[in-house]
Amino acid sequence: MLLFNSRSPCLALLATTLAGTQVASAIQLDLSSTQSIKSAASTIAHSMMSYYKGNLTGQTVGLLPQPYYWWEAGAMFDQMIHYWYYTGDTSYNDVVTQGLLAQISPDKDFMPSNQTLTEGNDDQAFWAFAAMSAAELNFPEPSRKDVSWLALAQAVFNEQASRWETTTCGGGLRWQIFSWNKGYEYKNSISNGCFFQLAARLARYTGNQTYADWAIKTWDWMESTPLVTAQYNIYDGVDMRDNCTKPIPLEWTYNIGTFLMGASSLYNYTDGDPTWRRVTEGMLNGTKVFFPASLGGNIMQEVACEPQQSCNYDQPSFKAYLSRWMAVTTQLAPFSKDFIMPKLQASAAGAAKQCSGAPNGGKTCGRTWNTATWDGKVGVGEEMSALSIIQANLISKVPPPVTADKGGTSQGDPLAGTGTSNSQPSDPLLTRSITMGDRAGAGILTTIVLGGLLGSTWWMSFGS
C-alpha cells in the first residue's frame, strides 16, 4: 500500500554515506541560558535557510526547491518570523518579507496562479498563518502600501468561510479547493483545524465576534464527526462518500497542534470561558500520544511515521508546528505551562543532540529527538522542527501576541478576499488532464488512495 512517499534514492544514499562519516559534534544547548538558546537557533536557522534559493538569480522568489511543496515555504517563513521574534536577529527579515509577498497573488489571498491548480485549503492556510503571525508579533509591515499582514490573513479567512460545505456531513471544509484534485471528497482535520485556528486568532486580534462564531461552528462540526475521539485524539479525515462515518485514524502532531492553538486563542479571547478551557485541556491530553511513555513522556515523536521511518517530505516538518503552537499556548492559557514546559525542554535537549549530522560542520539536524546519535536524516522539515522546539524555550522571555487594541499595528480589511477569483483559476492549464503527479502542493498529507484505504481493513491507532 502506497501510503507514504519515501525519500529519493539519491538523498537516502547521501544520508547513509554521511552517517558513516559522522563527526562527534552537535549543537551546544544550555536551556538555562538565553544566549545559548539564541545561538543554537541562529545556527539552525542558517542551515534551514540555506535550502531556500528563492532569491537567487533564475529561481522563483518564495519557493523552496523540489521536492518541497509550495505550502512548506509558507510554513518556513512563519518559523522565521518567530525566529526573529525570539532572538531579535533581523538578518532574514527582508528575505522573508520578499518571499511572502511574492506568493500573495494579485488578489492578495495566497492563491498564486502557479499554485492554484493543486492548492488545498491547508496549503493556503499555512501561508495565512505566516501573515497572521507577522500581524500578532508586529513584524515590520511591507513597504508596499497596498498590502498589510492582517488583511492577507483576513482574505484567506473570508475565502475559506465561503467554501464551507453544507450539502454533506452537516458542514466542514473539504481538503481540496477544486473538484479535479484527489481529496475533494475528503473533509480533513488539518483543513478544518487551520480554518478554526485562523478564525480564532483573528477573533482575538480584532475583537470581531464574527470570527469567533466561525471558529465555534468549526469546532462544533468537528465534534459532530468521528474526527475527535472521547479522549480528544484527532484523526486525519473522513470521506464524504460514506457520510463522514469512517475516519482515517492516523494521528499527526500538526492536527492536534492546530486545534490546541485555536482553542487557547478562544480561551484567551473569551477571557477564560470554561468551554474553551475544557477544549484546550482536551487538546493537551490529545498531545500525549506524541510524547510516548517509552521515551520518558516528554520527547516529541511523529508516531505515525517516525519510528517506521516512513515519513514523506512534508511530515518531518510537522513537529515544528506543534512545538510552535504549544509554546504560544503557555502565554494564551497560562494554566497549561506546567504541562507544556517540561515537554518543550526535554524535546529541545533531544533535538540539539540530534543536530549532530556530519554536513554543516557536524550540526545538521536529524529527525529522532530520542536518540543522541544523528539518524542520517536531512531536510527542511528536520531543521525547521529542531529550530522550532529549541527557540520555543524562549517563550517566557517574549511578550504574548498583540491585539489590535493592545499594541497591534497591522491595518486590516474585513472585506479582503471577497469578490476575488476564489472559485476557479482562469488558467488554460485547466484543460489539461490532471494526474496525481500534478498534485504537487496538495500533499500536505498523505496522498493516500482514499477509496482503497477506506475499503480495506487497514487501520492504525495510537490512542493513549
Ligand X SMILES: *[C@@H]1O[C@H](CO)[C@@H](O)[C@H](O)[C@H]1NC(C)=O
Q: Which residues bind ligand X (CB under 6 A)?
A: 55-56, 60, 94-95, 102-103, 112, 114, 158, 208, 210, 232, 242-243, 268, 271-272, 278, 281-282, 285, 331-334, 400, 414
Length of the chain (residues):
464
SS3 of residue 187 by DSSP: strand
- Whether the Cβ atoms of residue 249 and residue 459 lie closer than 8 Å to each other: yes
CB of residue 210 to ligand X, shortest distance in Å: 4
Report angle CA 38, 41, 45 to the nearest 5 degrees. Answer: 135
Which parts of 177-300 fold into alpha helices (H)? Answer: 189-206, 209-224, 253-269, 274-287
Nearest to 215 by CA among 155, 265, 271, 147: 265
Report, in Å, the least distance between residue 146 CB and ligand X. Answer: 17
Which residues 6+ apart lie within 8 Å of 149 measured at CB?
A: 131, 132, 134, 135, 139, 141, 142, 410
Distance of closest approach, residue 305 Cβ to ligand X, in angstroms:
26
Distance of CA 424 to CAs 16, 295, 449, Å?
A: 44, 47, 25
**Minimum separation from the CB atom of position 441 to ligand X (A):** 12
DSSP summary character for residue 141:
P
Residue closer to ligand X (CB basis): 185 or 306: 185
- How far is the C-alpha of 131 from the C-alpha of 198, rounded, in Å? 10
Provide φ and ψ at 365, rounded to 5°: -90, 130
104 versus 190: smaller Cβ distance to ligand X: 104
Min dist CB 53 to ligand X, Å, is 9
- For cell 502532531, what's the residue? 253
Least gap, CB of 310 to ligand X (angstroms): 30
Q: Closer CB to ligand X, residue 232 or residue 321?
A: 232
Q: Yes or no: say if 369 and 300 are a contact pair by the CB < 8 Å rule.
A: yes
Q: Residue with C-alpha cell 486580534?
A: 205
Minimal CA–CA distance to 223: which of 202, 196, 183? Answer: 196
Closest approach of ligand X to the CB of residue 14, in Å? 25
Whether 388 and 48 have beta carbons less than 8 Å apart is answered as no
Q: Using alpha carbons only, give the angle 237, 203, 418 rounded to the nearest 5 degrees.
A: 75
Helical packing angle, 70-87 and 318-332, nearest 10°: 40
* Nearest distance, CB of residue 38 and ligand X, angstroms: 19
Q: What is the DSSP letter of 6?
A: P
Nearest in space to 186 (alpha carbons), one of 242, 123, 250: 242
Nearer to ligand X, 116 or 393 (CB): 116
Distance CA 22, CA 376 (A): 9
Query: CB 9 → ligand X: shortest distance, Å?
Result: 26
CB of 412 to ligand X, least distance (A): 8
